[in-house]
Structure 1
Amino acid sequence: MKLLKSPLIIVSITALLLAACGTPKELSIIPYPQFEKTSSKTVKLPSIITFTANLPKNDMDDLLAYLPSYPLPLKLKNNESNDTPFVSIKVAPDSSISEEGYNLTINKKGINIEAKSATGAFYALQTLAQLARNGKELPVTTIKDEPRFPYRGLHLDVSRHFFNKEYVMKQLDLIATYKINRLHWHLTDGAGWRLEIPGYPRLTEFAAWRKAANLQDWGKYDHHFCEKDEEGAYGGYYTEADVREVVEYARLRHITVIPEIEMPGHSSEVLAAYPQLSCTGEPYTSGEVCIGNEDTFKFFEDVLDEVIRIFPSHYIHIGGDEASRRHWKACPKCQQRMKDEGLKNESELQSYMISRIEKYINSKGRDIIGWDEILDGGLAPNATVMSWRGTEGGIAAARMGHYAIMTPESHCYLDHYQDDPETQPLAFGACVPIGQTYSYNPAPDTLGTEVCKYILGVQGNVWAEYIPTYEHGEYMIYPRIIALSEVGWTPLKNKHPESFKRRINNEIRHIKTKGYNPFTLSELVQTSQTVDYAKKRITLSLTSEKHPIDIRYTTDGSEPTSSSKLYKKPFIVKDSILLTARLFDKTTPLGKSLHLRTDYHKGIGKKITYAPQGGYYQHKEVYKGGGDTGLLDGLRGGKSYMDGRWQGFCPNDLDATIDLGKITAIHRVVANFMQIRTPQVFLPAKVEVWVSTDGKDFTLLGTDNCSEEEAKKDVIFRDFGWIGAPVQARYVRFHAIQGRKQFLFTDEIVIQ
């Protein structure tokens, strides 16, 4: 397996190239344009910025309705005035400019905007607003721009945590700045139904309310819903008027709102309100609707009729993910449906429902999107696939001639930790830092043009299990959705991590002044390594998400101060180095110190053999962590089990034997493990280290047990293994024993 490239490695390589070639001139724009030519000259901004536009009446009315929210004081030129307008907007439908593209020219005569559509002109205005942030002057520049992908989205889960319409519109204001053009509104899920539906009052009188705001606390109430007017009821829903207001607000910002109605799984809230739609006929027994029941289809058709009536989006998202088939196997109605329709298994039963719903939606002139599980059992004819479990589902759909939207968990899940989980509020899953998000390429050239043309774009997903407040929602969304905007818009040749680092630090400072609550980037030193196996050495590089910043370090175990050595170039490690490094804003220390031991150890490049029941997880590429050589390649993982360095084991133990090639004196055998409880990643219960000189008779050197205190922690990283007086060995057996039959992850077995 080819290791995933760490964004930190990419940042380091880019920094070296920039140092060699000189820093390119850059504009303070996100996402960065396709082409720009900028001089050192500037143009003074007038106090009143008048403009003219040849937009059709409807488009002009839309622009004038939006302008009160626009950061610059644009004023339509009075027809009776002889003054020359500062801004000229010209839209030509027969132009060779792309549908969302624009040309923007700024010179001493003023500003000219050319576009094919009102959308292109709108995006030119967003670029102009970013260039005019200082409120005094503009750079003299020529920009020719268009998006790389037509779909650039933000997904917002309002089931697990309800966000009112004002909050949703506040986010629309900001994402429009970065040319995000889709809001995927996750309106229904097992934690709450959020859309008023005529004829089904229990959905919003009951299934939209619970006794706990935080999903974790809801467990105290057995995940049961409550009546709207009960004391302590938490929740909410959107009326038709609310939806129309949000949809119109989005439309004026050239954002399409795509509603999602989950089916057939993630529907426990529906079944709590209308238990007759479940296989058991009882509430709180299943999250999957009964596909053998015709009333199920009547319900969803009625719901979709209302959705189609109030949402103009061509796409309707119908979910289709994570459905358990347990109840369908035992349900007489579902089994009869399978028999009547000639379906081989429950996967085909789910596909039957998706296809039938698709036909209904197609009959209304709309199309469906579904999560990549809709590929199971056969893909509905006109469906678009949203690929979240990785990239494989989207690529498979594209190869079949279906459109795909890429939103892999490894890069695009904005509810995941964005920094060292030990320093962050409780979140779900792995660590997805901004560098990893920025590094994503939804359509690599290796797929070929015939596949890439079906990849519509990219989306960032926000799930709200661990988002307790509105402010925390923004903390998770920003700045990673801004990074993703550049992934979706900017051509690869114009994506430069070091440039983006400078721009995103400025952008964060700006949006804070606008009343948003972004994560202000990591206050920890970031590391990356490259291994030279021929010269038997590791190159260790340090960097930071923050800019500008100093990195100061020591190698004697002491804590860095403002007078410690300033990091300037990578370290060459031929044996071991014990590094302590910290960020400094001038003389002020930030965050906590990095304590890192790096070893070119005796196991690097040696043969490893996994026991028959001790091998790594085979069903997800990113969990293979480098494959058969991954635990002895000298490369240490970061804080994410999805960074391509960590190797996963589930449900079996890690049980591997390393052949050092000859009898060798060793005194230290350790491997790093992590525990992140929200995605069910746990420390081993115990690690055993065994040695042998002949590969037959092994001696136990020692054990290392997980303490009760450690086992209770939400997040912890630590080395397990053995350290002692030198012993002679050729073979080393490392056995990490499962405690919970969940995932173990380790990144390297270090032998010294």
Structure 2
Amino acid sequence: MDLIPAPRHLKADDGAPGPWSFRLHPGTRIAADDPAAQAVARRLRAELSAATGFALDACTEEQGRLLRQTITLRTDPELLAAGGPEAYALAVHEYGAVLRGGAGPGLSHAAQTLRQLFDPRIYRRAPLPGADWVLPSVRIEDAPRFGWRGVLLDVARHFLPKADVLRFLDLMAAHKLNVLHLHLTDDQGWRIEIRRHPRLTAVGSWRERSMVGYRSADRRDDRPHGGHYTQDDLREIVAYAADRHITVVPEIDLPGHSQAAIAAYPELGNTDAVDTSALGVWTDWGINPNVLNVTDGTLRFFEEVLEEVLEVFPSEFVHLGGDECPKDQWRASPAAQARIAELGVDGEDGLQSWFIRHFDRWLADRGRRLIGWDEILEGGLAPGAAVSSWRGYEGGIAAARAGHDVVMCPEQHVYLDHRQAPGGDEPIPVGYVRTLEDVYRFEPVPPELDGAAAARVIGTQANLWTEFMTNARDVDYRAFPRLAAFAEVAWSDLPRDPDERDWAGFERRMAGHYPRLDALGVEYRPPGGPHPWQRRPGVAGRPAEGP
């Protein structure tokens, strides 16, 4: 039935419409009694009504049993006990469909599977002529492999308007992905309104120009770029995501990747080592030497930033970056050297560890948990902190063995800004070649972890860094169809040995999934290569050789 991600258990007839099929029609109702079911039913009604033109009025389960042409949604304590809140079961018969979920998230996933059982035109936002809304007779039982099935969306390097973020959340929900890691700050832009520090957006949210392609070409687009989200914008994004049972995890990068903040407030930089008053928001890509100083004033500044972040984002985890922090300015800074001596830490690396652990404790005191890139392991972490393993598996292996929760997102496998094929047709070719098949064969849990350490791998994440993606069309191209393969890796109970996975079967199911992406308006990379307008001839990239 071309379902992606593949469910754990499916029993169906031959899939052809027959006497046991259910056909959606103008009199069909949607029944839901408990509040969690009613919330999912409202969204399902909106999605199905838009495509079919049918009202799909609400009713109670008792009314639905009398009507006998009903889609029924309910939460099921037995499913919750057996499979958790994201588990679901779906049954279609001649009188309708019954969707059960362990809780609201499971029901939401059941609704997405139901949509996939229809003609792909069900994903359109207005009715088209000739559609026959028939559902095959089927029984499905399903639950996810990982609790964290994430995507990083970098809105710092290139800003995405709010509407594009909301659309991306819809695409995530359609693929049963449940964590949006929103990368909000970097050297090239600060994207979140902070009321106590308004210059972060007044100055830090825009840059004079942007580098086009990789730095080797020394090419610039002399057009200002910028934008930011108000706190109400972000509350709307968080609420929209929550309605789709997606958690938004914010990232505020520190102590590196901070030139936009320093451009807004020069006193945050190492003023005794460099003239920070001359710095603007960075217009290049790469690793920036301008990092935060380690004074008490800077600690207080970012505590105030994080107080407002916590007001907007209710997520358990807050991502604080912690990666790619050059130490040259700290070596040259008398204040930084005095702090090292005062604390008795092991040089500049120990200073960075102390800086991160300060905010680790600060978040823990407020009932939140720090997560950061695997560099934060250097110098030790508090027990509750978690690690995003990006420099391969090694950081995640070390973190899991040390008792830390891990999200596996190694750049060699699931950095979706990396090129999808060799050759000159790929737009701005970056990093390793990672085809659709490569992503499908990615295994998040390395075999060398024993059972206890493997259980620390709480999930996996695909990352979309946007240095070379200027708008939503570019994001679509880099993300899809590979994000569909990643969604199956994160959700489905696939063989742990990548070589044993049924790539041919997945490829066949993708043939049925492309029309859904078409109906959703996703400008994905076609299997045969990019359309002419998706190429960027002459724009230099940074291809790498890798595994």
Confirm whether residue 262 of structure 1 aligns to residue 246 of structure 2.
no
User: Is this contact kept in 2: 1:161–1:213, CA < 8 A?
Assistant: no
Confirm whether residue 288 of structure 1 aligns to residue 291 of structure 2.
yes
Q: Quote the residue 1:442 is aligned against.
A: 444
Q: Quote the residue 1:76 is aligned against.
A: 58
* Residue 678 of structure 1, CA deviation: 4.0
Bigger drift between 147-156 and 445-454 goes to 445-454
Q: Quote the residue 1:496 is aligned against.
A: 502
* Residue 55 of structure 1, CA deviation: 2.2
Q: Quote the residue 2:201 is aligned against.
A: 204
User: Is this contact kept in 1: 2:210–2:220, CA < 8 A?
Assistant: no
In the TM superposition, what are the counterparts of 1:499-648 in structure 2 within 5 Å? 499-523=505-529
Q: Quote the residue 1:60 is aligned against.
A: 38
Q: Quote the residue 1:166 is aligned against.
A: 163
Cα gap change, 1:217/1:407 in structure 2, threshold over 3 Å: closer, same or farther? closer
Percent identity over the alignment is 35
Cα gap change, 1:98/1:83 in structure 2, threshold over 3 Å: closer, same or farther? same
Q: Quote the residue 2:236 is aligned against.
A: 245
Work out the CA distance in 2 between the residues paired with 1:161 and 1:503: 33
Q: Indicate which of 266, 277, 298 corresponds to 1:275.
A: 266
Q: Quote the residue 1:144 is aligned against.
A: 141
Work out the CA distance in 1 between the residues paired with 2:313 and 2:145: 26
* Residue 106 of structure 1, CA deviation: 1.6
Work out the CA distance in 2 between the residues paired with 1:396 and 1:383: 13
Q: Quote the residue 1:332 is aligned against.
A: 334
Give per-residue Cα distances to partners, 1:119-167, cap 9 Å, x unaligned.
1011011001001126432222211100000000111111110000000
Runs of 5+ unmatched residues, structure 2: 121-131, 280-287, 533-538
Work out the CA distance in 1 between the residues paired with 2:540 and 2:98: 54
Q: Quote the residue 1:154 is aligned against.
A: 151
Runs of 5+ unmatched residues, structure 1: 1-26, 225-230, 525-589, 592-675, 682-744, 748-752
Work out the CA distance in 2 between the residues paired with 1:433 and 1:218: 25
User: Is this contact kept in 2: 1:412–1:437, CA < 8 A?
Assistant: yes
* Residue 168 of structure 1, CA deviation: 0.5
Cα gap change, 1:330/1:523 in structure 2, threshold over 3 Å: closer, same or farther? closer
Confirm whether residue 181 of structure 1 aligns to residue 155 of structure 2.
no
Work out the CA distance in 2 between the residues paired with 1:213 and 1:176: 32
Q: Indicate which of 388, 391, 394 corresponds to 1:389.
A: 391
SS in 1 for 2:57: strand
Q: Indicate which of 79, 83, 92 corresponds to 1:97.
A: 83
* Residue 380 of structure 1, CA deviation: 3.2
Q: Quote the residue 1:20 is aligned against.
A: none
User: Is this contact kept in 1: 2:211–2:219, CA < 8 A?
Assistant: no
* Residue 86 of structure 1, CA deviation: 2.0
SS in 1 for 2:424: helix
Cα gap change, 1:47/1:680 in structure 2, threshold over 3 Å: closer, same or farther? closer
Q: Quote the residue 2:128 is aligned against.
A: none
Q: Quote the residue 1:87 is aligned against.
A: 71
Cα gap change, 1:480/1:387 in structure 2, threshold over 3 Å: closer, same or farther? same
Bigger drift between 81-90 and 215-224 goes to 215-224
* Residue 63 of structure 1, CA deviation: 4.0
Work out the CA distance in 2 between the residues paired with 1:235 and 1:342: 41
* Residue 51 of structure 1, CA deviation: 2.1
Give per-residue Cα distances to partners, 1:195-247, cap 9 Å, x unaligned.
110121111111111222555599999999xxxxxx95321000011111111
* Residue 488 of structure 1, CA deviation: 0.3
Work out the CA distance in 2 between the residues paired with 1:408 and 1:506: 29
User: Is this contact kept in 2: 1:403–1:454, CA < 8 A?
Assistant: yes
Quick check: which one's strand share is greater?
1
* Residue 256 of structure 1, CA deviation: 0.6
SS in 2 for 1:471: helix
Q: Quote the residue 2:118 is aligned against.
A: 132
Bigger drift between 354-363 and 134-143 goes to 134-143
More RCO (CA 8 Å, sep 6+):
2
Q: Over alpha carbons, which structure has the higher Rg?
A: 1
Cα gap change, 1:369/1:63 in structure 2, threshold over 3 Å: closer, same or farther? farther
* Residue 36 of structure 1, CA deviation: 1.0
* Residue 746 of structure 1, CA deviation: 10
Work out the CA distance in 2 between the residues paired with 1:278 and 1:201: 18
SS in 2 for 1:89: strand
Aligned length: 501
AA at the equivalent of 1:113: L
Give per-residue Cα distances to partners, 1:544-582, cap 9 Å, x unaligned.
xxxxxxxxxxxxxxxxxxxxxxxxxxxxxxxxxxxxxxx
Work out the CA distance in 1 between the residues paired with 2:161 and 2:363: 28
AA at the equivalent of 2:371: I
Cα gap change, 1:39/1:65 in structure 2, threshold over 3 Å: closer, same or farther? closer
Q: Quote the residue 2:24 is aligned against.
A: 46
* Residue 495 of structure 1, CA deviation: 4.7
Quick check: which one's helix share is greater?
2
AA at the equivalent of 1:142: R
In the TM superposition, what are the counterparts of 1:409-488 in structure 2 within 5 Å? 409-488=411-490
Give per-residue Cα distances to partners, 1:682-701, cap 9 Å, x unaligned.
xxxxxxxxxxxxxxxxxxxx
Cα gap change, 1:44/1:85 in structure 2, threshold over 3 Å: closer, same or farther? closer
Give per-residue Cα distances to partners, 1:295-339, cap 9 Å, x unaligned.
110111011000000111111000001110111112122112211
AA at the equivalent of 2:2: S
* Residue 523 of structure 1, CA deviation: 4.3
Cα gap change, 1:435/1:80 in structure 2, threshold over 3 Å: closer, same or farther? closer
AA at the equivalent of 1:139: P
Work out the CA distance in 1 between the residues paired with 2:197 and 2:41: 38
Work out the CA distance in 1 between the residues paired with 2:205 and 2:546: 41
Confirm whether residue 108 of structure 1 aligns to residue 94 of structure 2.
yes
Cα gap change, 1:471/1:490 in structure 2, threshold over 3 Å: closer, same or farther? same
Q: Quote the residue 1:30 is aligned against.
A: 4
Cα gap change, 1:220/1:388 in structure 2, threshold over 3 Å: closer, same or farther? closer
AA at the equivalent of 1:438: Y
Work out the CA distance in 2 between the residues paired with 1:252 and 1:497: 33
Cα gap change, 1:244/1:329 in structure 2, threshold over 3 Å: closer, same or farther? same
Cα gap change, 1:181/1:65 in structure 2, threshold over 3 Å: closer, same or farther? same
